[in-house]
Structure 1
């Protein structure tokens, strides 16, 4: 298709996409960190993800339009360049005719822009080149940003053909640096990922842990613990030992030290202790039950 793709216009407001399927675990993204294969089982979950940031849904048919499969891969590749600004969703309508019916498809392939759980533009028919897709996404992004929609998707978990979670190559440079003991480089590599997509929770956790290792790398353990014992309300002394505890695997000791410090201090000192503790939460990971318990304890200490 040689002509430039049109900008989004009106919505097919009569389509009740949410009626398809129930919330379900999302299928693995076969082609990338910002892509997902869609089926009736996970369609509702994909719609829900469009509340955070737009989903670009390509409806393809390997039997009726074999070339649409290559187009879908181009979409996945181009969307990956936007670091979570969009999520590429690909549905095989041969296998999922109910989705095709709900989308009121007129031909295959068709590409839909979904935001807030519903299409926000007339579908784009036919096949676009990678460059035409970049133009289209640029237009969509500008219009959504002007409307105040500026969220980003977190990376999707990529699962290999054997069912195992595949290593995400985006983290390879940072992980290699950690493996080589080059903590400064690891911090820089994780920072790049977080700058590109603040919604990337794995990169944020990696950055927090790398910064922790950076802080404790030159610490004198005995001197640090002696200073903390002598000055129980000194923020710098207590945060240093909290870092050492966490790096040594004593997660709850680390958290409890700073929660107690928050309870005993006020003003700027209390803010510094709280912010440091939140950074340690990120290093451990917000899904860890020890973090959940510590957050409740922190709330009690604050209020």
Structure 2
């Protein structure tokens, strides 16, 4: 499968979910059964794969490829359709140069690649005894907000925090997150999911992850297709990053998505070159969440 085809499939998958009223980065299943992982390797899926698998509405976190299921003594039931996951990596290409020795480091060029794989959920596989999923404990509102505060307090090199702003925002110039007072939000979980969104933006600052989509972001009223694309990509990074953080806190994102919200993302993802940046945005969102959580990411399954 060509890389361009994989990008197209990923974008089509996400758009299809949005057109059905499903926002994959707001799946409640993350906070109920945990993030999806490969049963054979034990490694968690990362980035865009989390959102591609969210559409399965899984009641268990485990997935396997067709071959992995066979190697473990099981089989995928006839007629089952799998889910696309992708793997990004790099390889070294040596340029041929008559004036240089073949294989020298000067000639080495790092190139990226993207491969697509099909995985099947545990419920689609027979002959393998998967662990009974242990539903994560139902947390009280007090416990959820306590977790949210712990996540925020544990962020390394945090931005300045200022309360009293008319609207929530992150200001790169002052490296500050500005939030309205908590009483202006419907409830505490909405407050913290909004704060997570702004903190995700802040990870793009030059003193943290130095993210291109944050540094070059000219705002919602930017002129030109490229500038609008940079804005949309950075907003998607923050949306997805907040989703990862909310799941870690046990906060379920509001599943009632307005038609305008859904259509705005459908339009953005149908724009020119969107098929390449949605995968990049999900990867950057994973890095943003990992930075805030102060953890090292697992190697992608």
Structure index of larger Rg: 1
Higher helix share: 1
Answer 1 or 2: higher relative contact order, Cα 8 Å, separation at least 6.
2
Q: Under TM normalisation by the shorter chain, which class is it? A: under 0.3
TM-score, normalization by structure 2 = 0.21
TM-score, normalization by structure 1 = 0.21
